[in-house]
Amino acid sequence: MPLEAGLLEILACPACHSPLREEADELICTGATECGLVYPVRDGIPVLLVDEARRPS
């Protein structure tokens, strides 16, 4: 389910405050490589919690 238009523009990675990009049903931090956390989107709602994020494989 795509996110609401414009929503991505106001969201930021909670760990490093970098912009996010949407990919499949996840939001990927576009910041420094030492961050790069991947946040899940559940039922169309981004879960921007570091504890819920995963490291990219």
Residues of this chain that interact with Zn ion (CB under 5 A) are 13, 15-16, 18, 29, 31, 35
Give me the least distance between CB of 4 and Zn ion, in Å please: 21
Task: For Zn ion, give the closer residue by CB, 7 or 18.
Answer: 18
In contact, 47 and 39? CB cutoff 8 Å = yes
DSSP-derived secondary structure for 8-30: HHH---TTT---EEEETTEEEE-
In contact, 29 and 47? CB cutoff 8 Å = no
Task: For Zn ion, give the closer residue by CB, 15 or 41.
Answer: 15
Give me the least distance between CB of 23 and Zn ion, in Å please: 14
